[in-house]
A and B are shown apart, each in its own frame.
Chain A
Amino acid sequence: MEEIRIEREADIVAVRQRVRELTKEYRFDQFEVAALTTAASELSRNVWVHAQRGIARIVVLHNGKKVGLELEFVDHGPGIADLNRALAGGFSTSKSLGLGLSGTKRLVDEFDIDTEVGRGTKIVVRKWKKEF
């Protein structure tokens, strides 16, 4: 398990690059690499934009024959008030409202979110490598 602090905008790039390195090391294909690096980028940026600080955790998963990557993003920011809207919505283009959660959700196999206004947000996503 690796941890990367998100405190500056440059950390978004750090998280993205680490995810890229791992996905290539474990031979995910180019589309899976793009999905994971993009999801990592989106979720890191959310942390930075809305909470200014947080942590990204990266875990390589081994489930018998399957290999996967788990990304966790934790912050103690404002939390998301209307989660259903955030998850249902079409792609937001506004910089301040841009959560892009619904889009990111479609890039991964598993998506768990735990959020409370005033407490913060924790998002865990997982993507499994195509077997053959």
Chain B
Amino acid sequence: MHGKQPDYMEILKLDDDELKRRLAFFELKDEDFKRLTELKSFAERCTNDITEGLYKLIMEQPDSRVFFPDQATLNRVKKLQNTYFLGLFSGTYDINYVRDRLRVGMTHERIGMPPKLYLGAYRRYLALIHERLLDHFKGKTDEAFKALESIRKIIFFDMALAIDTYIAAYLETMTRHQAAIRELSTPVIKVHDRILLLPIVGTVDTQRAHQIMETVLVQVVEQQAKVMILDIAGVPVVDTKVADHILKTTAAVQLLGSQTILTGISASVARTVVQLGVEITRMHTRAKLSEGIDLALSIVGKKVVSSGEGA
């Protein structure tokens, strides 16, 4: 997965249905598409001007200027801006249009341009277009107004997509972080061939208990572990709920065809588990982790033998 670009279309669930819903909410209708297509020559005539006007503002402000450190970058970006502008008047606003606009947003998000600059630039854009439209329609204010409305609709539509890319990017980051946190809080260790150990440290609420069971089961199958040692010495409170979760996990491990050894059992835990009155005779239990490891080894047919060396 190294270097693989997340699919924002997928993350944002941008399919044809969603596209239809958005076009409806932004009130983009056939007459708007027609109007936008009719303005294509207008767009081609003033695209350079508008791009220049936009970047004048961008280069004046220190916050935005930093993103365009050299002339080469600036020239390249201005070209892309022209392409973007003309795209607004293409007449075809389908799933490919959406994908394309998302890519634009992704690029800005990736270089770290904050939404405030992005939206500020759009505002400047609209102002520049407004000026030139009034000029183009020379006094036919009614038509100019209609044209501006159509342009405003498509620009807002684009802005929504731009903001969505920022959200999608953050969601993707959160997902990765959560996955990392889950992994760190459920460190399954291979202590020996086909013997796994999971030291559970900290409080175990229902959500964590679910996650522990799931991680344990996946690891047991992946590693084909014959024995899973669950050490609960680090769990501060083992109430009936926690005990139930642990027992469910051991039952599930058994269903897979493996065994569980529960270690780190204190006196109070021993009391609680018996009070639950569930099948504990099926489960191996030991007070100390080292004893659990010894038992696990014997289950897989091995044992620890003194080599006679060392202290």
**Is A132's CB under 8 angstroms from B214's CB?**
no
Minimum C-beta distance from B111 to chain A (A): 25
B237 at the interface (CB under 8 A from A): no
Which residues in A have their C-beta under 8 angstroms from that of B175? 132
Q: Please, which residue of chain B has its CB at the minimum distance from the CB of A29?
A: B214
Please tell me the size bucket of the interface on B: under 10
| B binding-site residues for A, Cβ under 8 Å | 13, 174-175, 177-179, 210, 214
Nearest 9 A/B pairs, CB to CB: A132-B178, A132-B175, A132-B174, A31-B214, A132-B179, A132-B177, A31-B210, A131-B178, A26-B13
Task: Chain B residues near A132: list those with CB within 8 A.
Answer: 174-175, 177-179
**Residues of B contacting A: mostly:** helix
Nearest-neighbour CB distance to chain A for B8, whole angstroms, equals 14
Closest to A65 in B: B171
Size category, A interface: under 10
A93 to B177: give the CA distance in the assembly, Å.
43
Find the residue from B13, B175, B178 having the highest chain A CB count within 10 A: B13
Q: Which residues of A contact B (CB under 8 A)?
A: 26, 31, 131-132
B167 nearest in chain A by CB position: A65
Chain A residues whose C-beta falls within 8 Å of the C-beta of B178 in the assembled complex: 131-132
CA A9 to CA B174, docked complex, whole Å: 43
Residues in chain A near residue B13, CB distance under 8 A: 26
Q: Which residue of A lies closest to B174 (CB)?
A: A132
Contacts of B174 in A (CB 8 A): 132
Which of chain B's residues has its CB closest to A62's CB?
B13
Bound-state CA distance A132–B11 (Å) is 12
**Assembly CA distance A61 to B175 (angstroms):** 20
A31 to B178, CA, bound (A): 17
- Distance (Å) between the CB of A95 and the closest chain B CB? 22
Residues of chain A within 8 A (CB-CB) of B214 are 31
Chain A: which residue is nearest B173 at the CB level? A132
CA distance A131 to B214 in the complex (A): 16
9 cross-chain CB contacts under 8 A? A26-B13, A31-B210, A31-B214, A131-B178, A132-B174, A132-B175, A132-B177, A132-B178, A132-B179
| Residues of chain B with a CB closer than 8 A to A31's CB | 210, 214
Q: How far is the CB of A131 from chain B (nearest CB, A)?
A: 8
Smallest CB gap from A26: residue in B: B13
> Which chain A residue shows the least CB distance to B214?
A31
Most interface-central of A26, A31, A131, A132 (chain B CB within 10 A): A132
Contacts of B210 in A (CB 8 A): 31
Bound Cα distance A131, B177 (Å)? 12
